[in-house]
Chain A
Amino acid sequence: MNSSPPSSAVSIQGVSKTFRSGTTALADIDLDIQPGEFVSLIGPSGCGKSTLLRIVGDLIQPSAGSVQVNGKSAERARLDHDYGIVFQDAVLYDWRTVGRNVSLPLEMLGWSRDRRKARVQEMLELVELVGFESSRPWQLSGGMQQRVSIARALSFDPSLLLMDEPFGALDEMTRERLNLELLRIWEAAGSTVLFVTHSIPEAVFLSTRVVVMSARPGRIAEIVPVDLSHPRTVATREDARFFELVTAVREALAVGHGDGGARGTSAREVY
């Protein structure tokens, strides 16, 4: 496939994005993600984290800089079906059953009916929705719908999972349960995850690294490595180290927000 030496899962180099309106959403982003990593993007509204996710997914084009995914261009990676995407809303198709929603990408990959059927069963087991195959999306709760959307994203074994605030619309209890479930799935599937969130505890709990971004224009303010052990459990959330990391991310966010600290000031001077 690729003759170059083992490469990063995602390599973002000097990416900027200025919209036609003149708004600079992202300025000079450099980020490297290793295969198997779980990286969260966190930052205030308008820091361009969703924009960055879309640039990585080749859904929008950067104004400057380049993105490499698995050693190839983002466009090539998209055409090679390297991406699975999960949005804040499940974006399920009402006119399809749960099972046929999960098999949508498989249909487009030209899988045979039998193979699709087997995979759908496998995926529904993974997200614990066995028996809901012929239900309609609107018959499920929000959390269940989001699990269907995750099953759909993982169904074709994409090497990179892009998640844009996937649990943002869910209640706290459902969110925490799905966090655990996502970690279990991630560990089983061995894929790389790029995860956009507003929630500091969620970012810390899930990630191997938390990328803290600042707004206007969106920059990387700080990268916080998360050294919590795996597998993470309910007990992880009560770990003293967990709280230290949550505090570290919160402080990095405050600095990035320009609420104090030398770094924030200097960034503004540069701008």
Chain B
Amino acid sequence: MALRPALTRVLVFVLVVGALVAAWEGYKALWQATGWGWPFLVNDTTMPHLYDVVRAFWQPTTTGGPPLIRSLLSAALFTMKEAIAGFVLGAVIGFVLAVALAHVRFLERGLMPFVVGSQTVPILAIAPMVVIGLGSKGIEGWQSVAVIAAYLTFFPVTVNTLRGLKSPDPRAVELMESYAASTWSILWRLRVPASLPFIFTALKISATASVIGAIIGETPASIQDGLGGAIVNFNQYYSLQPTFLWATNIVCAMLGLVFFGCVVLAEHLVVRRPPEQLV
């Protein structure tokens, strides 16, 4: 019984991947055959063959060096460390901030514009400041990058948790009050459990955002050990070896998916809701 939906899923996945590959190669073949220059000229540099991208994983990046996949995996592990630290830090800050905003009305009015404003500042502009500022305090580069990732992570958590904390039915609050429950007790027994679906929605957004934050944070910090460093590096050699950058992109996407998957798994374990409310 349980096998059929699982089988269907695998089949759909294979079909979607197949369709995407066909679209890529079909587009490439058509544009190359006709020589259309709009929106851009298609050749093996702008759109390499996908099998060449896959093959690139086993090619050495330097003569006699290890294959690309090995350096990309170690870069992915490094970036993952930054992203995890940033994700956890951002989630905790985001949650605590939401609790404070939910309980102190003037804080919400006074602080919320700045919380929103913080997200309009380009991460590329603040990343060097964070790295240099924290670096002068003796904090390691990867930890500074984690702070940058946290900067992207906390915002969705704050906004969604705040909504979740305010989501309980007024009568559910009255019920707690009729038991002479303290604010603390109402928070942990009612508001936080009620906001879990909201929090997990935010964590799913934050999971991918923290990976992006870590990759982008590495760039101005000139950190070479992660995927951000790999992207900068392969970018410079794009005209010679475009497949390396594409292969790196695939690894970045995989890392984001793994993060996302972990959050979805945690959600299924933690949140118990009517089936129709689980998305």
Interface residues of chain A, those whose CB is within 8 Å of chain B, are 54, 57, 59, 78-81, 83-85, 87, 89, 91, 93-96, 104-105, 107-109, 136, 138, 162
Interface residues of chain B, those whose CB is within 8 Å of chain A, are 169, 171-172, 174-175, 177-181, 185, 189-190, 193-194, 196, 271-274, 277
Q: Are A85 and B174 in touch, CB under 8 angstroms? A: yes
Given A93-B172, A136-B272, do A59 and B177 touch, yes or no (CB 8 Å)? yes
Which of these, A54, A89, A93, A105, contacts B193 with CB under 8 Å? A93
A-B interface, 5 closest residue pairs, ranked by CB to CB distance from nearest: A138-B274, A95-B193, A79-B180, A85-B178, A87-B171
Contacts of B194 in A (CB 8 A): 93, 95
Which residue of B is nearest A109, CB measured?
A: B179
Q: Are A89 and B169 in touch, CB under 8 angstroms? A: yes
Which residue of A is nearest B273, CB measured?
A: A94
Bound together, the chains give a CA A87 to CA B178 distance in angstroms of 12
Given A85-B174, A95-B196, do A108 and B179 touch, yes or no (CB 8 Å)? yes
Provide a sorted-by-A list of 16 A–B residue pairs whose CB atoms are within 8 angstroms.
A57-B178, A78-B178, A81-B179, A84-B178, A85-B175, A91-B172, A93-B172, A94-B272, A94-B273, A94-B274, A95-B193, A95-B196, A95-B271, A96-B193, A104-B179, A109-B179
Bound together, the chains give a CA A108 to CA B175 distance in angstroms of 12
Q: Are B177 and A78 in touch, CB under 8 angstroms? A: yes
CB distance from B17 to the nearest CB of A (A): 36
Contacts of A105 in B (CB 8 A): 179
Bound together, the chains give a CA A57 to CA B177 distance in angstroms of 10
Which residue of A is nearest B276, CB measured?
A: A138
Contacts of A109 in B (CB 8 A): 179
Contacts of B178 in A (CB 8 A): 57, 59, 78, 83-85, 162
Bound together, the chains give a CA A130 to CA B181 distance in angstroms of 28
Which residue of A is nearest B182, CB measured?
A: A108
CB distance from B270 to the nearest CB of A (A): 9
CB distance from B182 to the nearest CB of A (A): 9
Q: Are A91 and B169 in touch, CB under 8 angstroms? A: yes
Given A91-B169, A95-B273, do A59 and B174 touch, yes or no (CB 8 Å)? yes
Bound together, the chains give a CA A15 to CA B273 distance in angstroms of 42
Q: Are B175 and A91 in touch, CB under 8 angstroms? A: yes
CB distance from A91 to the nearest CB of B (A): 5
Contacts of B277 in A (CB 8 A): 94
Given A78-B177, A78-B178, A91-B175, do A104 and B272 touch, yes or no (CB 8 Å)? no
Point out which of A80, A91, A107 has the most chain B C-beta atoms below 10 A from its C-beta: A91
CB distance from B184 to the nearest CB of A (A): 11
Q: Are B185 and A108 in touch, CB under 8 angstroms? A: yes
Contacts of A83 in B (CB 8 A): 178
Known: A94-B272, A95-B271, A95-B273. 8 other contacts (CB 8 A): A57-B174, A91-B171, A93-B193, A94-B274, A107-B189, A108-B180, A108-B185, A138-B273
